[in-house]
Amino acid sequence: MDEEGRLEREIEVLEQEIVTKQLRLLELTRNHDMSTLSNYVFLGAEGPTYLSEMFTLNTDLALFHVMADCEYCDVWLSAIEQLAGAMRGRMALAVVSPEPLERLASRADRGAWTIPFYSAQSCSFSEDMGFLRSDTPVGVAGIVLCQIEENRIYLSAKAPFGPSPFCSLWIFADRLNHVDHS
């Protein structure tokens, strides 16, 4: 077998392992009991805001966690805006970031975000969700799904988008870096 054929086969095997593990992760996540979340206090355009207040009139909340000062997150969030429009009314939506509110507001203005945004700089939300660690000082992008019942907030699901050793979007991002802009 030539070198190119060997590499293609190795890639196929690794891709299959990733798919198998992702399916197992999804299965485990679905069968995991929801944990209770603290009623974190975020900083928003209107001042301090409790997590429970972000639900507005809904029982479900999707939090889009964006990394501090990340243009890829901004592009990703801009793309989510259309999907967010379809989700409005079904669940509450918010953007959170460990970034200071002033810088986050500037990003929101540039990106014309319609989803409310909040800084998690004043609370441990990003750390508690595993989206801010000492090895990733700008944070990790991801999504957190929450439910509220009576006065208790539950974590339904969470998933990071990166950075990770491998993410399928990195292939696309790598191509964007190599496109001829002339």
Q: How many domains does the chain have?
A: 2
> Given this model, what pLDDT does residue 77 score?
82
Asked whether residue 83 is domain-assigned, the answer is yes
> Given this model, what pLDDT does residue 71 score?
82
Same domain, yes or no: 22 and 63: no
Residue 125 in contact with residue 153, Cβ under 8 Å? no
pLDDT tens string, the chain, 182 residues long: the values are 698 889 999 989 988 888 788 778 767 766 565 689 999 999 999 999 999 999 988 999 999 999 888 888 888 888 888 778 788 788 999 999 999 999 999 999 998 888 999 999 999 999 999 888 767 666 788 889 999 998 899 998 888 875 555 555 555 555 555 555 44
Residue 181 in contact with residue 173, Cβ under 8 Å? no
> Given this model, what pLDDT does residue 181 score?
46
Same domain, yes or no: 150 and 98: yes
Asked whether residue 172 is domain-assigned, the answer is no
Same domain, yes or no: 45 and 17: no
Phi, psi dihedral angles at 70 (to 5 degrees)? -120, 110
End-to-end CA separation in angstroms for the chain? 39
> Given this model, what pLDDT does residue 54 score?
96
* pTM greater than the 0.85 cutoff: no
Question: Can you read off the two tokens belonging to residue 49?
Answer: 């805001």
For residue 46, what are the domain limits? 35-161
B/e letters for 66-98, b = 16+ CB within 10 Å, e = fewer, are: bbbebebbbebbeebeeebeeeeeebbbbbbbb
Strand 60-65 to strand 92-97: parallel, antiparallel, or no bridges (unpaired)?
parallel
